[in-house]
A and B are shown apart, each in its own frame.
Chain A
Amino acid sequence: MHKQAILREKRTVIIFAILAVLLVVSVLLYIYSRTYAKALRLNIVMDKSAFSSIMGRTIPALIGMGAAAVLIAVVSLAFQTITGSRILTPSMIGFDSVFVGTQTVLVFLFSSMSKAFTNPYLNYLIVAGTMVTVSMMMYGSILRSNKNNLVFLLMFGLILSGIVRSGSTYLQVIMDVNDFNQVRAATSVTVNNMNTKIIFIALPLMVAVISIMLARHKIYDVMSLGPDNAKSLGIPYEKEMKFSLFLISVGMSVATALIGSLAFLGLLAVNIARELLKTYKHVYLFIGSAGLAALALIAGQAVVELLQGAVPVTVIIDLIGCSYMFYLILKENRV
């Protein structure tokens, strides 16, 4: 093998090792921040039973955060590959607004006491089903006419999310006060206020989406050469694209329902992974961006807990992500 290729491989291994260490440290820091740091602050002795009872809540939170972060990163990378863009993420075609919209309409039509809203599984299935249907209908109608016009799709998504958002705000204004509070509670899920009730349905779906995408990394490699080259190399591009978009819809619905909207996490993780790893190979990019996303979320959350939760971690991630996106747009325009 060539010298440069070996050097590149070595670099990748080192980056992964550092990432793994940082991840372990941030997990430990998170656990520490929720147990001993808190005990120290409140002057309580941390005994075994208290520790295990806190861990009973901390571990699901950790799993939820980790899984959602990994999912968002993987899905965002796949989305960037099929759209051939480094700036787009699935949140931009209105995934989270459809989530809020569906919840609002559900409560508006059937009130907050109905089964469709109170049963977490049924509620999740309805919301996820709507998200997948709406997005697939969008792709279907746009892709059927034999034009792979993703710019049009994105504009359509942007407008759709605008309509859905203002529509749901309108419904929320005219609905019953109690219902309004319930909708707000259900749609303002954040990292601190995770919807852990659905974790048993969310986890298997997450694992499925992530492993299917990981298993197809070679196909994504070829697709990153563009539609014409990919087709010439024997990839049924339209079919692959539709399937990927379906997986992305499912993945985004799980992540949004579980920890709410994290608009910029995917963008941040995927682009930093690209910068660090300097490769187009999706195996490395999938793992790298997943690790980075989990690291950003868990380390950020640990720091927030240590600082006694002055600022939610999502705000920090969105702030950094937003500035990074501006930087990317400016950089791409200069060339």
Chain B
Amino acid sequence: MIEVKNLNQSYTKHGKKKTLENINLTVKEKAITALIGPNGAGKSTLLGVTANLIKPLSGMVMINGIDVRNIKTDELAKKLAILKQTHNINIRITVKDLVEFGRFPHCGGRLTDIDKQKVKESLEYMNLAGMEERYLDELSGGQRQRAFIAMILAQDTPYIFLDEPLNNLDIKSSVEMMKIIKSLVTELDKTIVVVLHDINFASAYADYIVAMKNGRIAGEGSMEEMITKEVLDEVFDHDFNIVTHQGRNVCLYFDRTFNRRKIYEVI
């Protein structure tokens, strides 16, 4: 179980401008938790601090009742894996080699038969069989993203954090990616926290939604509680229309009433 307690974080040393303010959160086990919110709300920072990539200003993160700061980095890597949004690595590497890195916390780079088996399984799970020897820069955006998820999967951690996994993916690849993420929960019992920009993907696939604004949690709850006009208008400062389709709330957020004078007034 991951609990975040009274977390504060800021970019300046004395914490005048806070990027996270008094965050308290308990991550739902064996479910997809989606973090939504406008740009600069602190979603990626919260993910980074929770995964111990960034040290918090104050507060703490507990994994199974132990403070993450007291867990050794290599032990933590067996419990929690995080994939950040930008992975423009500047080395030429094959898919298989990348996925084998996922076993590093377990074997320190010396792969045993069990490790090789895990790598094979992850590759197959992510539909990358037959592409093992291809170089990452030869792949499409969706395939490359799948290769990175396969690495995370090979790491074999109960907790997986994904920072905007749909970034730069087309609609088909995005849907495929969300289906895979969903199956990680239903088939492999993973606990997943994912930062999503598209609210409709959160609505369609997430079991629990946490909305953030200005470094605070603006609300949390199930899809029915969160994807409502009242909540989203407040979080995104925007006029939403919510419709229901196949039992899921879908947001329509485009604004067709073009009123140039209004825009001028705003400027």
| A228 B76 Cβ-Cβ under 8 A | no
Smallest Cβ-Cβ distance to A145: which chain B residue: B13
| B89 A226 Cβ-Cβ under 8 A | yes
Please measure, in the bound complex, the distance between the C-alpha atom of A231 and the C-alpha atom of B96, giving whole angstroms: 20
A2 and B90 in contact, given A146-B54, A233-B155 (Cβ under 8 angstroms): no
B91 at interface (Cβ–Cβ under 8 A)?
yes
Smallest Cβ-Cβ distance to B57: which chain A residue: A146
Residues of chain A contacted by B87 (CB below 8 angstroms)? 225-226, 228-229
| B55 A146 Cβ-Cβ under 8 A | yes
| B74 A234 Cβ-Cβ under 8 A | yes
B247 at interface (Cβ–Cβ under 8 A)?
no
| B102 A233 Cβ-Cβ under 8 A | yes
| B89 A231 Cβ-Cβ under 8 A | no
| B54 A232 Cβ-Cβ under 8 A | no
Smallest Cβ-Cβ distance to B83: which chain A residue: A232
Smallest Cβ-Cβ distance to A236: which chain B residue: B73
Count residues of B near A (Cβ-Cβ below 8 Å).
36
Which of A5, A146, A233 contacts B104 (CB under 8 A)?
A233
Smallest Cβ-Cβ distance to A146: which chain B residue: B55
Residues of chain B contacted by A229 (CB below 8 angstroms)? 83-84, 87, 89, 101
What is the distance, in angstroms, from B12's C-beta to the closest C-beta of chain A?
Answer: 10
A84 and B90 in contact, given A218-B108, A218-B109, A232-B83 (Cβ under 8 angstroms): yes
A318 at interface (Cβ–Cβ under 8 A)?
no
| B104 A234 Cβ-Cβ under 8 A | yes
Which of B13, B77, B97, B133 contacts A232 (CB under 8 A)?
B77
Smallest Cβ-Cβ distance to B132: which chain A residue: A2
Among B98-120, those with CB < 8 Å from A are: 101-102, 104-105, 108-110
Smallest Cβ-Cβ distance to B152: which chain A residue: A232
| A278 B92 Cβ-Cβ under 8 A | yes
Please measure, in the bound complex, the distance between the C-alpha atom of A83 and the C-alpha atom of B152, giving whole angstroms: 24
What is the distance, in angstroms, from A133's C-beta to the closest C-beta of chain B?
Answer: 25
| A280 B105 Cβ-Cβ under 8 A | no
Q: Is the interface of A mostly helix, strand, loop or mixed?
A: loop
B82 at interface (Cβ–Cβ under 8 A)?
yes
Among A55-95, those with CB < 8 Å from B are: 84, 86
| A234 B93 Cβ-Cβ under 8 A | no
Smallest Cβ-Cβ distance to B100: which chain A residue: A221
B53 at interface (Cβ–Cβ under 8 A)?
yes
| B105 A234 Cβ-Cβ under 8 A | yes
Residues of chain B contacted by A5 (CB below 8 angstroms)? 133
Which of A231, A232, A235, A280 contacts B91 (CB under 8 A)?
A280
Smallest Cβ-Cβ distance to B74: which chain A residue: A234
Please measure, in the bound complex, the distance between the C-alpha atom of A229 and the C-alpha atom of B91, giving whole angstroms: 13
| A228 B82 Cβ-Cβ under 8 A | yes
Among A1-51, those with CB < 8 Å from B are: 2, 4-5
Residues of chain B contacted by A228 (CB below 8 angstroms)? 53, 82, 84, 87
Among A216-241, those with CB < 8 Å from B are: 218, 221-222, 224-226, 228-229, 231-236
Residues of chain A contacted by B96 (CB below 8 angstroms)? 2
Among B173-230, those with CB < 8 Å from A are: none
Please measure, in the bound complex, the distance between the C-alpha atom of A236 and the C-alpha atom of B96, giving whole angstroms: 24
Please measure, in the bound complex, the distance between the C-alpha atom of A236 and the C-alpha atom of B52, giving whole angstroms: 10
Residues of B that sit less than 8 Å from A by CB? 13, 51-55, 73-78, 80-84, 87, 89-93, 96-97, 101-102, 104-105, 108-110, 132-133, 152, 155
Complex A-B, nearest 9 residue pairs according to Cβ-Cβ distance, in ascending order? A234-B77, A218-B109, A234-B74, A280-B91, A234-B105, A228-B84, A236-B73, A4-B133, A232-B82
What are 10 A-B contacts defined by CB distance under 8 Å?
A225-B89, A228-B53, A229-B84, A229-B87, A229-B89, A231-B53, A232-B53, A232-B155, A234-B74, A234-B78
